[in-house]
């Protein structure tokens, strides 16, 4: 059975930026991707299992890294992978049962790779820019609120 679910109706620039945030958080802190996300056109949020809030320096570093990746104009491509191969690379615990045996993988250059059924841009430069609006930490959850921002 193929994974033919209709793509999530996320705003592609914000959804692509969410992939970059998740990839950056995992690279910087090694805690994996967000366990919960709410993606909207004006602002979005991601929740991570964490042990504290971010420092101002960490927030600045995350923004700088994501905006650097955006400016690299990396291609966003999809590929398809058999479930048995995906199990060796990805955590499949959040995958819906009806996903089937062939899974869709989104690659953002060599920077990020994850399973996803959502809509994305063709390249990172089309995002424009990335800005963290706020963060907070409560009960083992770090919440990051972010938006698409123009780079001046």
How far apart CA 129 and CA 122 sit, in angstroms, is: 15
pLDDT digits (tens, 9 = 90+) for 59-118: 999 999 999 999 999 999 999 999 999 999 988 888 887 888 999 999 999 999 999 988
Maximum CA pair distance of the chain?
A: 47
CATH of domain 12-148: 3.30.980.10
The closest of 108, 133, 82 to 12, measured between CA atoms, is 108
pLDDT(10) > 70: yes
How far apart CA 41 and CA 37 sit, in angstroms, is: 13
pTM confidence score: 0.90
Q: What is the pLDDT of residue 7?
A: 42
pLDDT(150) > 80: no
Q: What is the pLDDT of residue 149?
A: 84
Torsion of CA 65, 145, 53, 31, to 10 degrees: -60
Beta carbons of 143 and 36 less than 8 angstroms apart: no
């Amino acid at each position: 059975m193929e994974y033919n679910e209709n793509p999530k109706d996320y705003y592609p620039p914000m959804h692509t930026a969410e992939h970059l945030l998740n990839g950056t958080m995992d690279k910087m802190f090694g805690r994996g991707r967000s366990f919960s996300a709410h993606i909207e056109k004006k602002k979005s949020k991601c929740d991570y299992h964490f042990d504290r809030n971010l420092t101002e320096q960490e927030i600045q570093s995350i923004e700088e890294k994501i905006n650097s990746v955006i400016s690299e104009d990396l291609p966003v491509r999809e590929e398809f992978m058999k479930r048995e191969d995906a199990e060796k690379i990805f955590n499949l615990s959040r995958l819906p049962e009806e996903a089937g045996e062939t899974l869709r993988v989104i690659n953002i250059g060599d920077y990020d790779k994850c399973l996803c059924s959502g809509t994305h841009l063709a390249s990172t430069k089309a995002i424009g820019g990335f800005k963290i609006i706020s963060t907070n930490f409560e009960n083992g959850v770090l919440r990051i609120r972010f938006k698409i921002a123009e780079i001046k």
